[in-house]
Amino acid sequence: MSLYDRVFDHVLVRMDAERAHHLTYDALRAGGPVLSRLPVTGGAPVRAMGLTFPNRLGLAPGFDKNARVYDRMGAFGFGHVEIGTVTALAQPGNPRPRLFRLPEDRAIVNRMGFNNDGAPAVAARLGRKHAQNRRGRGDRNHQTQPRLILGINIGKSKVVPDDDQAAVEADYETSARLLAPHADYLVVNVSSPNTPGLRNLQAVERLAPLLRQVRRTADEVTVATVPLLVKIAPDLSDDDVLAVADMALDLGLAGIIATNTTISREGLRTPAAKVTEIGAGGLSGAPLTERSTEVLRLLRGRVGPDLTLIGVGGISTPEQACERVAAGADLVQAYSGLIYGGPMWPRQILQGLS
């Protein structure tokens, strides 16, 4: 058992989960400079969406909602980081407690509710970070490895009614206009269960015009085309998954991310009374493995070899990462796996992927 495992099992699991998350966040941020001195082995550069990723492994949104530490996460082995979810309006999220661990299932339940600083603040922060990084590089052209890729995940502000299509499109347009200039790729999130009505936007007749609006807006504010993806829920029926795949091809999207958290509680080892006490929220971690892999296989079978698919949900081991790639993923992402696995976990996954 590693030092991290002992700390997690005897300290972190006894704390409020959100406080423990912030402590883990601070520890990982502080450990980045130390780990940066160690070579990252395993994995290989991957071309996807016209971009060169240092490797297949990425950090899923939720860890760095506000773009504070994403640029330090390459030291842990991640080839890309997806920040967010960011909304046009700053919002505090849902009342606490809103984050819960299920150690028996290596899972997390969250009903955070898109708590974030808002698109204007995040865009300003990204602008400052990019300027600092350019100054830090100076005129040196010494990079021999592909740089860390930044994805930005945008969602709907809670106060915007989900049944007002024009207002929804305007809300996402605001985020896209501010954030697309800073993104290597952009993700439209319509699949979180924690913003009321958000998942209604997954219906193709509503999703297609929303994606067209985001695409138009991103093109207006960028010189090069920023790849646009959509993130879907594991709770969609197979027919709806295939409908999203057809829509992605029709619209010329760069890719699909499968999958977000689930509202299902089937098959959990955690006692039912505890699950009931926790209440609503999106379940992430190991229980998603089977369904997320199924959705990925469905998508790849429908879209063919060219559309980029990012597999996320329930990746805890190198074997599961390899299985996701075998099912059709060009890239994989994780979040709960890092929380349970600790700072050396990404390197273990990369060794397996190599």
Binding residues, as ranges, are 61-65, 85, 110-114, 153, 189, 194, 231, 259-261, 285, 314, 335-336
DSSP 301-320: HHH-SSSEEEEESS--SHHH
Bind-site residues for FMN:
61-65, 85, 153, 189, 231, 259, 285, 314, 335-336
The single residue listed with the structure tokens 């993923």 is 329
CA angle 135, 343, 152 (to 5 degrees): 50
- Are residues 281 and 110 in contact, defined by beta-carbon separation less than 8 angstroms? yes
Total H helices, total E strands in the chain: 11, 13
Assigned token pair, 178: 């501010």
CB atoms within 10 A of CB 229: 24
Dihedral sign computed on CA atoms, order 273, 277, 280, 284: negative
Encoding tokens for residue 116? Answer: 């974030």
- Rounded Cα distance, 159 and 105, in Å: 34
Q: How far apart are CA 139 and CA 328, in angstroms?
A: 40
What's the CA gap between 53 and 144, in Å, rounded?
Answer: 13
Radius of gyration of the chain (CA): 19
Compute the distance between CA of residue 204 and CA of residue 197 in angstroms, rounded to an integer: 15
Q: Mark the binding-site residues for substrate, compressed into ranges.
A: 65, 110-114, 189, 194, 260-261
> Which residues belong to the active site?
192
Around 196, how many Cα atoms within 13 Å sit in the side-chain half-sphere?
Answer: 6
Residue with tokens 């996460």: 73
